[in-house]
Every structure is written in structure tokens, then in C-alpha cells.
Amino acid sequence: MLISLGIIILAIVIDQVTKLIASSSIPLNSPDIVWIPHLLEFSYHHNDGMSFGLLEGQQVLFMIATIIALLMFGYLFLDTDYKSKKVYSVSIALFIGGTLGNAIDRSLYGYVIDFMHFPFLDGVLNAVGLSNFYNNFADMFLSAAIVLFAIDVFFLEGKRKKKESLKHAETPEN
């Protein structure tokens, strides 16, 4: 549990510090600052919607969804175990850290601070009708959590259950 708490705190600190740096050093809605051509650009934006600018201005909805998500992640947090469920445990910690990172912004400012743009994704997003998007570290932690959680559910959980059933089959009956 201490490892998970450390990951959550580290995720929140990284997210909030980088947002503070972006908001204090990049003018709002400035043209993109190219850091790695075609890969990474920076521009400071206020996002009062969710990913891809959907549901703009629905702050009450986002706060309710955040509370529900945190309750769900808190329940899943009770099952974290770094000895037998490392990937699962890291994913839950990242879900909580990412959710809290963006919730802090929504609570303090009424919007989320976004500042990173990945231009190599523009073609794919435009093909499905989504415009360019900007994100932050909380968003990346949430994306990583989704991937890790899926890996655990689809690949590792079955192996754990199989190992556990073999362990029980080998235990002599008294």
C-alpha cells in the first residue's frame, strides 16, 4: 500500500509541477513551441471539457464523474498487492493519481491545464473526426493506467488464477 501511495503522490506532484511551469512560462493559447519536430510540442491551454474538447463547460458532471471514479478506484485499491499483482497495483495507483491531478485543476480553476501536443497523432485523430488535442501528465498517467489495467485483465489475471489453482491442487488434503 505504501508503494501505491508513493506512486499516487509522485503522479500528482509531477502533474501539478509541470502544469505550474507551463502556465507560468507559456502564454495562454500561444502558437505551439516545437520541442521535438513532428513528435512533441508545447502550448498552454485551458480545457473546460474532457478529452478532445468534448462536453465543454460541464463542470458539475465532471466533478460527479470524478467522485464516482475515485470511489471505484478506491475500491479496486483495496485489492492492490505488489507481490502478486504488480501491474494491476501500478495501474490503480496511476488511475487515482491521474484522476486527482485533473480534479485538483477543476476544483481550483474550473478547468484543466493542458500543455502537451503530440502532432504525430493528428492524422489519426482527424480521420475519426477529432481535432488536435493537448494534454498533461495526469492524462498520460490515466492512459498508461488503462493500458496496464488491460494487460493485467487480459493476460496476467488468467495466469494468476491458473497458478493459484495449481497451488491448491498440489496442497495435500488433511
Quick: pLDDT tens for 2-22: 999 999 999 999 999 999 999
Q: Is 52 exposed, middle or buried (0-12, 13-18, 19+ CB in 10 A)?
A: middle
**Total Cβ atoms within 10 A of residue 67:** 12
Q: Indicate the residue type of 105.
A: D
Locate 98 and state its grid cell: 491521474
- Residues acting as catalytic residues: 114, 139
Q: 131 with 54: CB under 8 angstroms?
A: no
Domain ranges of the chain: 2-170
- C-alpha cell at position 35: 520541442
Q: Which of 106-110, 152-156, 159-163 has the lowest mean pLDDT?
A: 159-163
Q: Tell me: the pLDDT tens digits for 28-83?
A: 999 999 999 999 999 999 998 766 556 666 778 888 989 999 999 999 999 899 99
> Model-level pTM?
0.88
